[in-house]
A = this chain, B = another copy of it.
């Protein structure tokens, strides 16, 4: 809460305390000279992308193994620099592409972490995005991956680099919260799915059992599902109806 000079970094975005003036009104020519000489460092900005998917009846997250200091050998959330002419979301999409080759996935900005000490190398502010991938499309790529990229169950994580554990906890909470009042969960399933599969998604993320009858009643009453007419048989028992998400319906639960 102490007073510090915002001006000192040489450029001021908003209205007041205009820092320096290489912009007309002179409020601060002096300052400009004084500060633009990169005497005052700028933080680095990265985008990290938490990619989650349902694999082997587990909610899993994609991590990459660090190859150098700091946290060498530890696992981390994939991320990278924001290019100077690239939007934050584009940077996140690029990161997603690099790791998964999958396009058109659910992507949401989560939170920005910027504690001064979070990266021992330098000041790094990271804008964290959150992506949900359906396992169907993902399977293909999975095998071809390098050894230093892998999926981990979110409830059984290795030690993580930086503040990445905290970031994953944050992500999981957000996911749980949104599960209740949005259709975010559908992004984890392929185009057609059974109600049982959908229920499993909820159970895995909320980490508790749900009543089958109540769950079906609730989902079906919203009208967000469309019966495809097809059925899915697996094992030696009655086949289940296949549904598809009806995007015409409002995206709320």
Contacts and interface: CB of A to CB of B under 8 A. Distances in A.
B64 A14 contact: yes
Given A38-B38, A48-B14, A79-B13, A103 B1 contact: yes
Interface in A97-149: 97-99, 103, 109, 111-112, 114-116, 119-127, 148-149
Interface in A1-36: 1-4, 6-19, 21, 23-28, 31-32, 36
Interface stretch (A83-91, A184-192, A202-210, A242-250): A83-91
A176 interface: no
A215 interface: no
Interface stretch (A65-73, A193-201, A221-229, A232-240): A65-73
Count identical subunits in the complex. 2
Contacts of A85: 116, 123
Given A13-B80, A15-B161, A44-B9, A114 B98 contact: no
A162 B78 CA distance: 31
Contacts of A28: 120-122
| Most B-side CB within 10 Å, residue of A3, A32, A40, A88 | A88
B121 A27 contact: yes
Contacts of A3: 94, 97-98
A106 to B, nearest CB: 14
Given A6-B81, A27-B68, A43-B82, A1 B90 contact: yes
A88 B64 contact: no
A60 interface: no
A8 B44 CA distance: 13
A47 to B, nearest CB: 9
A7 B95 CA distance: 11
Interface of A: 1-4, 6-19, 21, 23-28, 31-32, 36, 38, 40-46, 48, 63-69, 72, 74-88, 90-91, 93-99, 103, 109, 111-112, 114-116, 119-127, 148-149, 161-162, 164
